[in-house]
Amino acid sequence: MSHASPPFTPLQRVLHWSMAIGIVAMLFIGVGMMSTIDRNYLLLVSIHKPLGIVILVLAVLRLIVRWRRGAPPLPASMPAPMKFAAKLSHWTFYALMIAMPLLGWAMLSAGAYPVVVAGMRLPSLVPASAKLHSLLWTAHSTLAFCLFALVLLHLAAALFHAWVRRDGVFEAMAPWPRAPR
Ligand code: HEM
Ligand code: HEM
């Protein structure tokens, strides 16, 4: 059954879909970086670092927009545990969208590697330390796999709403405007 609550704003939808593309690209670029030692490694790193910082900035912007504009209510027909799981997964996404870039940046700071974005060298987040570098590397890798798993679950849930429940949840975030009824 379709619910008629207002959709996410166009800005929220543009941010959702551009960041979804950016984050999926980052996951594949990251794995690509770890799987090659030829000169493509440097190309992939030179995309991964600035794109990750752009995602950090967009995630902060998105949280501000979310705080000011809120989100459409979930349909009353949705069972409470499903609503809880949806909200938990969304806030986990926000946490990971902030944590992943910060961990990547801090990992490079701990390894004394520069993080340069648009010709500007960003400050070190933590002091240089081999032990901290290895800890942050493990955290960045482990959370990347958690993020990938969450993306797959979220995709499955979105398609379940669109094709099985048909309750308007997918349409609220769809990249195209809702058709007039
Ligand atoms: C949404 C943001 C990010 C995502 C989803 C992401 C994802 C990943 C993934 C999947 C890997 C490969 C992990 C593995 O196979 O074990 C990786 C590695 C890496 N990431 Fe990120 N990353 C993000 C942000 C950043 C940022 C902002 C930086 C630095 C400024 C960064 C620096 C690195 C580095 C240097 C590696 C490779 C480490 C090595 O060669 O040992 N990442 N990232
Ligand atoms: C990396 C990929 C993605 C990320 C990080 C992501 C993140 C998010 C977040 C954080 C929200 C909650 C918005 C809020 O309440 O402020 C959301 C909602 C939503 N996303 Fe995604 N998303 C991704 C990919 C996708 C894909 C591929 C689809 C569909 C095929 C999708 C469909 C939806 C839908 C329908 C909602 C609205 C859910 C609701 O109203 O409760 N997302 N997404």
- pLDDT one-digit tens code per residue, 12-33: 999 999 999 999 999 999 999 9
pLDDT of 38: 87
CA-proximal residue: ligand 1, atom 8 (nearest) = 30
Supply the range of the domain harboring residue 161: 10-73+81-171
Does the residue 177 lie in any domain? Answer: no
Which one of 26, 122, 147 would you pick to mutate in the ligand 1 pocket, going by the greatest count of ligand atoms within 8 A of its CB?
Answer: 26
Which protein residues touch ligand 2 with a CB less than 6 Å away?
Answer: 16, 20, 23-24, 66, 71, 74, 86, 90, 93-94, 151, 154-155, 158, 169-170, 172-173
Residue 151 counted as domain residue? yes
Q: Is residue 2 part of a domain?
A: no
Domain membership of residue 178 (yes or no) is: no
Q: Is residue 143 part of a domain?
A: yes
Residue 38 lies in a domain: yes
Ligand 1: residue whose CA is nearest its atom 19 = 30
**Which of 57, 9, 48, 2 lies closest to 167 in space, CA to CA?**
2
Query: Tens digits of per-residue pLDDT, 69-91?
Result: 999 999 999 999 999 999 999 99
Spell out a b/e string for 9-48, using b for 16 or more CB atoms within 10 Å of the CB, else e: eeebbebeeebbeebeebeebbeebeeeeeeeeeebeeeb
56 close to 101: Cβ distance less than 8 angstroms: yes
Q: What pTM was estimated for this model as a whole?
A: 0.94
Query: Which CATH number do you get for residue 22?
Result: 1.20.950
Spatial CA neighbour of 22 closest among 53, 65, 67: 53
Give the number of domains in the chain: 1
